[in-house]
Chain A
Amino acid sequence: MNSPQQLAEVLTSLRIGNQSYLIAFYEQNRDLFARWARRQHQLVPAVAHELLRTVLVDFYDQVADGRLTKLPPDVRAYVYGLADEQLRSASTTEILPKDEAGRRQQLLRLFRQLGLDCQKMLMYFYFRGYNFEKVAGKMGFANANVARMQKATCLRKLYELRMRSEAGTR
């Protein structure tokens, strides 16, 4: 997947939430990246794998946020560069406005405090775009109405966590 047209399609599909390119990239490059990270930065494989995952999620965020509007011609070199920057804590990529970045990172932390069912439910609805029937089927609920009520409960929980968090920092 290296022709300019294919790379453009990758960017489009990533923007609409199709993450399969990055999943395949991880599967194909994990061991290669671990060897590179061991040689260049003396990282053990488990740490190298975690670094690659972090970098790929970061890459995805850049595409989703609209910070990356053109896919680099050599994605592998770009990802290795991101990993290098991550290790040197020297980001050269465009960063989000501070308010927006802080708000999203805070929401991400709070999201991880939710129960696994709530996380899954909100991911199905807000990221995958499943309707309530499909969410009910995936989660094992009796019908779409139950799914709707569960989603409302989870969103309320997340919102209340944010309210509490902000009250604590004020």
Chain B
Amino acid sequence: MTPPAFDLRPYLEELERFADGQMTTAEQTAFEVRLEQDAALYQAYQAYEQLTADLRWVAGHETLHQRLLALDRRLDQRQEALTRIRRRQRKTQQQWGVVAIVVAAALLALWLIMRPTAPTLEAAWARYYVPEVGLPDDVVNESRRPLLAEAMRQYRDGHYVQALHNLRRVPSSNLGQDTSLYYSGIMLLSQEEPEQIRAAQPFLRRVAMQSASPLAGRARYHLGMAYWRNQQITAARNTLRAVANDPRNPYQDEARQLLRANVLPQE
């Protein structure tokens, strides 16, 4: 480290005025003359020049240092702000995601509740099947045919097994064959068991084929319904079409309604 040659302070103000161009023309000329003649002043001038040269270097160095520091702080702040924004956006997205999931779940639940369900066979049966009402009392004539009256009562009360049992005990001389077959088929069909429904079909078929019998049309309707109940769709459709096309059949309207409702599965 080179120590300064001497104390600059007595010369500092004058040297600054000269270096910074603050002197008048006459002052500057006089100073330049003195600089050539006064060795101490010249030495001070050299020292001052070195000091200001070093100071320029320091000022440049420090300016860059401080500018970079300020920029660094600004970049850090921008980074923090961006991170904050991204965090907020992520949070908002998550919130919307939760809302979307909840809405989707609610819509799904609503759809599950409200969706149109295909009518089950049970429901369609309950809706479209028109049960046989049984023989009226005046036709039964209880005093003459007590077993038949008992069977009809049990049938109306829903006791189909006992009703069928009593019907079979009615002497054949007391009851027409077609009536016996018809109600046997009806009572088997009414039990709504697959086996009994299949068992009802031959009885009903036999009556349906007796074109002379007044029960033939009714038997055909119940036979068609027995086929449907037993999921014999082709037979059910053909039989019920025959009923729907027969203007004398008391079940014509019911058969038409059933066919129109399209509840029979497509073949």
Which of A's residues lie within 8 Å of B, judged by CB? Answer: 17, 19, 22-23, 26-27, 30, 49, 53, 56-57, 60-61, 64-65, 99, 102-104, 106-108, 111-112, 119, 122-123, 125-128, 132, 148, 151-152, 155-156, 158-160, 162-163, 166, 169-170
Question: Are B1 and A106 neighbours in the complex by a CB distance under 8 Å?
Answer: yes
Question: Are A17 and B60 neighbours in the complex by a CB distance under 8 Å?
Answer: yes
Which listed segment binds A: B51-59, B136-144, B155-163, B237-245?
A: B51-59
Give, as a whole number of angstroms, the nearest-CB distance from B7 to chain A.
7
A19: B residues at CB distance < 8 A: 60, 63-64, 67
Question: Are A169 and B1 neighbours in the complex by a CB distance under 8 Å?
Answer: yes
How many A-B residue contacts, CB cutoff 8 Å?
104
Closest 6 CB pairs of A and B: A127-B59, A126-B59, A53-B68, A123-B59, A127-B60, A126-B56
Could you tell me the dominant secondary structure of chain A's interface residues? helix
Is B72 on the interface with A (CB-CB < 8 A)? yes
B57: A residues at CB distance < 8 A: 61, 64-65, 104
A89 to B72, CA, bound (A): 24
Question: Are A53 and B59 neighbours in the complex by a CB distance under 8 Å?
Answer: no
Question: Are B68 and A56 neighbours in the complex by a CB distance under 8 Å?
Answer: yes
Known interface pairs A27-B75, A126-B56; A166-B65 also in contact (CB < 8 Å)? no
Give, as a whole number of angstroms, the nearest-CB distance from A83 to chain B.
14
A-B contact pairs, 22 of them (CB 8 A): A19-B63, A19-B64, A26-B68, A26-B71, A30-B75, A57-B65, A60-B64, A64-B57, A107-B54, A122-B59, A123-B59, A126-B59, A127-B56, A132-B20, A148-B22, A151-B16, A152-B13, A155-B55, A156-B12, A158-B55, A163-B4, A163-B9
B61: A residues at CB distance < 8 A: 57, 60-61, 64, 108
- Which size bracket describes the interface of B in this complex? 20 to 34
Give, as a whole number of angstroms, the nearest-CB distance from A74 to chain B.
21
Question: Are B55 and A148 neighbours in the complex by a CB distance under 8 Å?
Answer: no
Question: Are A107 and B55 neighbours in the complex by a CB distance under 8 Å?
Answer: yes
Known interface pairs A30-B72, A103-B54, A107-B54; A159-B64 also in contact (CB < 8 Å)? no
A61: B residues at CB distance < 8 A: 57, 61
Starting from the known contacts A61-B61, A104-B54, A123-B59, 16 additional A-B residue pairs (CB-CB under 8 Å) come to A19-B60, A19-B64, A22-B64, A57-B61, A103-B2, A104-B58, A108-B62, A127-B62, A132-B20, A155-B16, A155-B55, A156-B9, A159-B12, A162-B4, A163-B9, A166-B3
Is B124 on the interface with A (CB-CB < 8 A)? no
Question: Are B68 and A23 neighbours in the complex by a CB distance under 8 Å?
Answer: yes
Residue of B nearest to A108 (CB): B58
Interface code B30-71, partner A: CB below 8 Å = 1, 0 otherwise? 000000000000000000000110111111111111111101
A162 to B51, CA, bound (A): 10
Pick the residue among B2, B63, B68, B72 that contacts A123 (CB under 8 A).
B63
A23: B residues at CB distance < 8 A: 67-68, 71
Is B8 on the interface with A (CB-CB < 8 A)? yes
A166: B residues at CB distance < 8 A: 1, 3-4
A170 to B1, CA, bound (A): 10
A104 to B61, CA, bound (A): 10
Give, as a whole number of angstroms, the nearest-CB distance from B169 to chain A.
102
Give, as a whole number of angstroms, the nearest-CB distance from A58 to chain B.
9
A170 to B4, CA, bound (A): 12
Question: Are B16 and A152 neighbours in the complex by a CB distance under 8 Å?
Answer: yes
Give, as a whole number of angstroms, the nearest-CB distance from B52 to chain A.
7
Known interface pairs A111-B58, A126-B55, A166-B3; A53-B9 also in contact (CB < 8 Å)? no
Most chain A beta-carbon contacts within 10 A, residue among B7, B58, B62, B63: B58
Give, as a whole number of angstroms, the nearest-CB distance from B58 to chain A.
5
Give, as a whole number of angstroms, the nearest-CB distance from A16 to chain B.
10
A3 to B93, CA, bound (A): 45
